[in-house]
A and B are shown apart, each in its own frame.
Chain A
Amino acid sequence: MSDETTQRVRATLKKRYLKEKLFRGFGITAIAASLGFLVILLGSIIYKGMPAFQATYLKVDITLNEDTLGVGGTVSDAEMQGANFSGAIKSAMRDRFPDVKKRKAKKNLYALVSSGAEYALAEYMINNREQFGQTVSLWLLADDEADALIKRNKDLSKPIRRGEFKNDSSALVTRLNKDQLGWLQSFKDAGDTDVRISSTFFTNGNSREPEQAGIRAALVGSAYTLLITFALSFPIAVAAAIYLEEFAPQNRWTDLVEVNINNLAAVPSIVFGLLGLAVFINYLQLPRSAPVVGGVVLSLMTLPTIIISSRAALKAVPPSIREAARGLGASPVQVVTHHVLPLAMPGILTGTIIGLAQALGETAPLLMIGMVAFIVDIPGSVTDPSTVLPVQVFLWADAPERAFTERTSAAIMVLLAFLIVMNLAAVLLRKKFERRW
């Protein structure tokens, strides 16, 4: 190379390296930014959601006898279930604070204990009949407002943020009044408050009382819905992809089908919800709010995704494998089932999991078919009314009680965990099917 060319190359070299540096810089910044946002998002969700896995209990001495419960100690379980446990709890609270006389004040006092406590007490009584007639110290679930203050270890002597304290950032934000805070303080002073790890969130369905609301119904609903979605969309989509890729003639009709599948993948999900409402519920009279309808609607939505990715996976199988099999006298179906499909399986599974993950996070079409219902009972089959995780998040995010905030975040955590489990399953399945040679 002559000196002049060397000079010229050197001059451009600098520019080239600079460009590369810039490009790398952009790349690293982009990744750092997205990671940063992800950390902030996950951090805030976990920080807000963790308290949902704890619950506060108050220790109360309850007298369990015929006077307080209104039934004898030897009645049947069903009768015992219907006994006046709420009255027993109320009288126990009155006994603890005998100065409270006014009706309104009494009502406030009772409100410290969760309305669900009486059911726990009933269960306790049925399992411990020998304690009938005795006064026992029991831990009762606290109401959500009291729970929030105790759980976060707030100073209960601070003024409540209302009126003139509106701008006082050190004031307490609570719906409890001064009396209630005093009673709570006395519980705390006596060591009669306890914050425990609680599984309520995972064992209960939805509830109007945040401290009793749980994710179980939505989780089961989501599982049923996804099961239906998978059972419908996977075989149909794989069959469609195989036919289009391996058997269908290349003509205008298959082109039309292909274009339509691609378009279908871009249709807004709410449209599928409308279709589900019109066809499955109004016309076919399938049950409202049921996972079976949700699953069918979501599989309509997932189908194009799985078909497109399955076709790509099938296309990626080298033609030489097909030729080899055909050359040995394998019939067209044998070529596909023995050679092409096993090689394409990892790709097909990845597409399926992506489709199912989309379906898991989908809310809009499910609102249209009534899966936005308030579900207390855990659904027992695919035709029971149920809701799904993202809809539950939507419902709780909308609720006025502040304690639902933590439930919302916790529900998001469960949703994300569900996704991670699904992805993990996909990775394991891929590993199993992948032929590394």
Chain B
Amino acid sequence: MSDAAKEAFDALTETVGRVTVDDPKMQAENVDVFYAEKQAIYDVTLDVAKNEVVAMIGPSGCGKSTFLRCLNRMNDTIPSCKVSGNITLEGESLYSSAMDPVMLRARVGMVFQKPNPFAKSIYDNVAYGPKIHGLANNRAELDDIVESSLHRAGLFDEVKDRLNAPGTSLSGGQQQRLCIARTIAVSPEVILMDEPCSALDPIATARIEELIDELRENYAIAIVTHSMQQAARVSQRTAYFHLGKLVEVGETKTIFTNPSHELTENYITGRFG
């Protein structure tokens, strides 16, 4: 980081751009995250709107994944991780005692960086979520959920003849779409995606990006990505993180064509990252 950029970062006390939206699905207010003594996220406020894709970009270690994982309390299992501030889903606080983390994760699904299908058949992979939550009353309903989820993930035609084949027998891109199908089978309200294409080739990536765009009709989506092109292609709003601070938020088009903050500009133009 140049001296000028460092100065600009130190001077940054408030996020540039409008962090709130008119019709929020999830709201994060003044979120700080600590891993033991080390602070990973400083005072981040950000909304996720309904039917929009919000992309989080930034250099490695900027806290974008950490922030994403706060949105469905996946950080709970890390004992040293402390989250403060307020995060709400439809106005309900995530970290209040009234919110059950199991319930929350059924409402806020997650797709991970590396495709991680269960060591089960394709069918069972998708059926697992509905089964544990008791979403299907009988086998026929379960079949319907599995089929429609695979359809929506754009995978059904490729696997309809081998639903009993192991999920891991699919290619990387197919596995990731299977993981997406598995997530939407639970009918969540929000889908979090943590660099969902970083382990995939360009063709599989394009497929997933199309899918994300289609999914926007029904879900609120927050996606963390390393690829600025991807952020530009799939998202409506973009948030730029830097060393744990949320530097700038704005319309994706604006961020990529006319960023307001110096750090954002440096990153977009490839001066660091």
Binding site for B on A (CB under 8 A): 249-250, 318, 320-321, 323-331, 334, 338-339, 342-343, 435, 437
Residue B106 at the chain A interface, CB threshold 8 Å: yes
Q: Are B118 and A249 closer than 8 Å at their CB atoms?
A: no
In whole Å, how far is B262's beta carbon from the nearest beta carbon of chain A? 36
**Is B133 at the interface (CB under 8 A from chain A)?**
yes
Which of B72, B118, B182 meets A321, CB within 8 Å? B118
- Binary per-residue interface labels of chain B (70-81) against chain A in the complex, 1 for a CB within 8 Å, 0 otherwise: 001010010100
By a beta-carbon cutoff of 8 Å, the part of chain B in contact with chain A is 72, 74, 77, 79, 102-106, 109-110, 112, 114, 116-119, 128-129, 132-133, 166-169, 179, 182-183, 186
A184 CB, nearest partner CB in chain B, Å: 68
Q: Name A330's contact: one of B77, B132, B167 (CB within 8 Å).
A: B132
Known: A249-B79, A338-B128. Contact between A328 and B166, CB under 8 A?
A: no
A326 to B104, CA, bound (A): 11
Judge whether B132 and A334 touch: CB under 8 Å.
Answer: yes
Tell me what chain B mostly uses at the interface: helix, strand, loop, or mixed. helix
Known: A339-B118, A437-B119. A328 touches B109 (CB 8 A): yes
Q: Please tell me which one of the listed residues B77, B103, B112, B167 contacts residue A329 in the complex, with CB atoms under 8 A apart.
A: B103
Q: Are B102 and A330 in contact (CB under 8 A)?
A: yes
Of the candidates B103, B112, B114, B169, the one whose C-beta lies within 8 Å of that of A437 is B169
Check B116 against A326 for contact (C-beta < 8 Å).
no
Tell me if B119 and A343 are in contact (CB < 8 A). yes
Q: Among the listed B104, B116, B133, B166, which residue makes an inter-chain contact with A320, where contact means beta carbons less than 8 Å apart?
A: B116
Question: CB distance A328 to B106 under 8 Å?
Answer: yes
Measured between beta carbons, the chain B residues less than 8 angstroms from A328 are 105-106, 109, 128-129, 132, 182-183, 186
Please determine whether A327 and B74 come into contact, CB atoms closer than 8 angstroms: yes
Docked CA distance A320–B74 (Å)? 12
Given A342-B119, A437-B168, A327 contacting B79 (CB threshold 8 A): no
CB distance from B122 to the nearest CB of A (A): 11
Q: Which chain B residues lie closer than 8 Å to A327 at the CB level?
A: 72, 74, 105, 109-110, 112, 183
Most buried by B among A318, A329, A338, A435: A329
Q: Kindly list 11 other residue pairs between chains A and B, CB separation below 8 angstroms, not including A323-B110, A328-B109, A437-B166.
A: A321-B116, A323-B74, A325-B128, A326-B105, A327-B105, A328-B106, A329-B102, A330-B102, A330-B132, A338-B132, A437-B168
B118 pairs with A324, CB closer than 8 A: yes
| Closest Cβ neighbor of A331 among chain B residues | B102
Contact (Cβ within 8 A) A323 B116: yes
Question: For the complex, what is the distance from the CA of A67 to the CA of B116, rounded to whole Å?
Answer: 88
Bound-state Cα–Cα, A324 to B183, Å: 9
